[in-house]
Structure 1
Amino acid sequence: MPTYSFRCSDCGPFDLTCPITDVVATPPCPACSTPARRVFASPPLTTFSAGQHRLADLAAASADQPAVTTTIPAALGRPRSTRRDPRLPALPRM
């Protein structure tokens, strides 16, 4: 469930966790019951791990300059099994 931040003019900031369908524009302050205003802030991006930041950077970089692969990458440390399907020679070649 998302957490919404609000600020009471008398008591200060507080957070409210509720479903998206149940959030109200001016909920009452839990301390004094005065209507509070919603505080909009940037999303908490600091919760991403270093690996997630690296992946986001790679995705952004590949949008402008995609890497071109000219060979099939080798399996990671595993030998590739040979295919012995007798139907393979009959397939059309390009």
Structure 2
Amino acid sequence: MPTYSFRCSDCGSFDVTCAIADVVAAPLCPGCGVPARRVFGSPPLTTFSAGQHRLADLASASAEHPAVTTEIPAALGRPRPPRRDPRLPALPRW
């Protein structure tokens, strides 16, 4: 659930955790009961690494101009396992 920050003119700031549908424009201060004003802060965008920013950029670019593939991609340089065990024909059959 999201946490919303509010500031009372008398008591100071406090946080309210509630669902998006249940948020009130001016909740009452838990200390004095006076309606408080909401405080808007910046989102924590600095916590993303460069790789996360790159992935977000690729995802948004893919949404605008999706790449169309016509074949199954290779296994990224890893050898593929054999489809069946080569030792199976050597086993006795009943």
TM-score range, shorter chain: 0.5 to 0.7
Deviations 1:18-45 (CA, angstroms, capped at 9, x unpaired): 1122211111112222210112233222
1:9 corresponds to: 9
1:48 corresponds to: 48
Find the aligned partners of 1:21 and 1:66 in 2 and give their Cα distance. 34
1:78 corresponds to: 79
2:20 corresponds to: 20
TM-score, normalised via structure 1 length: 0.58
Find the aligned partners of 2:19 and 2:9 in 1 and give their Cα distance. 24
Find the aligned partners of 2:16 and 2:27 in 1 and give their Cα distance. 9
SS in 2 for 1:54: helix
Alignment of 1:27-66 (within 5 A): 27-59=27-59
Counterpart code for 1:6: F
Q: Give the gaps of 5 or more residues in structure 2.
A: 84-94
Q: 1:56 to 1:29 in 2, by over 3 A?
A: same
Q: How many residues align?
A: 82
Deviations 1:29-68 (CA, angstroms, capped at 9, x unpaired): 1222221011223322234344322212334566789889
Find the aligned partners of 1:30 and 1:51 in 2 and give their Cα distance. 42
Moved more, 27-36 or 43-52: 43-52
Over the matched positions of the two proteins, sequence identity in percent amounts to: 75
Counterpart code for 1:41: G
Q: 1:57 to 1:25 in 2, by over 3 A?
A: same
Find the aligned partners of 2:20 and 2:27 in 1 and give their Cα distance. 14
